Amino acid sequence: MTLVARGLSRAFGKHPAVVHADLTLTPGRITGLVGPNGAGKTTLLLLLAGLLKPDGGTITLDGAPAGDGPLRAACGWMPDVFGTWDSLTPHEILVTFARLYDMPAPDAAARADELLALVHLSEHGRRPASELSRGQKQRLGLARALVNRPRLLLLDEPASGMDPRSRIELRDQLRAAARAGAAIVVSSHILTELDELADDVVLMVGGTTEPAGPTTASWRVRLAGQPESEAQLVALDDDEAAAAHLAALLADGLPVAEFTRVSSGLEQAYLQLHADRT
């Protein structure tokens, strides 16, 4: 399902949080949404999820104007902090959400078990949710977002609080959801992670969006005997270009002692955006 948002705006009182934002989400693609604190990312995601009404602008789903109802039916929403009902178990929480999506009780119970296994929480499934750690709650939040097999997946800083293994699994789970045809948007402050995960990146500052252009990463090259301060930064398009560059250096007989990717192209685009705006 393709979501197209055009000119979305939303203010809180006199304070504009989202200002003429544009975003297109396409099936099978993961879009990264990055921007500083207060840029309007969460507000934009809430608008897309049908959980907040825009003051202006349009949202279409497969070309048809979409109000709250269709958006909520199509979306899986994972907030940055997932408030659980602490007296319920993760299994009960997932069953409750599945039932809210009109799933029959036996299907809801089976779906809850399936999702708990997916996010590696099966052994915690029947204990009170209050016993979950922050990272485990995040994983439960992801399971919750997937309950209705959403065609649009909106995730607000999903990796925050997750340990390294859970982050890697999250990446794999999102890739699998995209391969299955979901259109996905992920907001994050971790640019290197987004660089690996996202097919497209949208930058957000002061409530407005702009697509990040093609980015170029840098590699740090230092030859044997060369002081650290004289190492060179070489801008290269991707891993293949880096491999070719290294092969050429070695073919020239240069004693390469270090060859390291130093910063993501996304980081540079992000910093450039700030430099332009402040």
Ligand X SMILES: Nc1ncnc2c1ncn2[C@@H]1O[C@H](COP(=O)(O)OP(=O)(O)OP(=O)(O)O)[C@@H](O)[C@H]1O
Q: Are the C-beta atoms of 118 and 146 separated by less than 8 Å? A: yes
17 binding ligand X? (CB under 6 A): yes
Which of residues 1 and 51 has its CB atom nearest to ligand X in the complex? 51
Provide the 3-class DSSP secondary structure of residue 242.
Answer: helix
Q: Give the shortest CB-48-to-ligand X separation in angstroms.
A: 12
Query: What's the DSSP call for residue 199?
Result: S
Q: Which amino acid is at 94?
A: L
Q: How far apart are CB 43 and ligand X at their closest, in Å?
A: 3
Residues 6+ apart with CB under 8 A from 64: 70
Closest CB 160 distance from ligand X, rounded Å: 10
Inter-CA distances, 131 with 85, 87, 123, Å: 11, 10, 12
Nearest CA among 155, 200, 191 for reference residue 173: 155
- Minimal distance, residue 274 CB to ligand X, in Å: 14
Residue in 40, 125, 141, 158 binding ligand X, rule: CB under 6 A: 40
- For residue 3, the SS3 value is strand
Structure tokens of 219?
């590699």
CB of 185 to ligand X, least distance (A): 13
Judged by CB under 6 A, the number of residues near ligand X is: 11
Please, which residue, 31 or 218, has the CB nearer to ligand X?
A: 31
Min dist. Cβ of residue 166 to ligand X (A) = 20
39 binds ligand X (CB under 6 A): yes
Name the nearest CA neighbour of 75 among 183, 151, 6, 144: 151
Give the residue, chosen from 19, 21, 31, 35, that forms a contact with ligand X under the rule CB under 6 A.
35
Q: Are strands 217-223 and 232-236 parallel, antiparallel or unpaired?
A: antiparallel
**If binding is defined by CB under 6 A, does position 54 make contact with ligand X?**
no
- Of 5, 8, 19, 41, the residue at the interface with ligand X (CB under 6 A) is 41
Applying CB under 6 A, which residues contact ligand X? Answer: 12, 15, 17, 35, 37-43
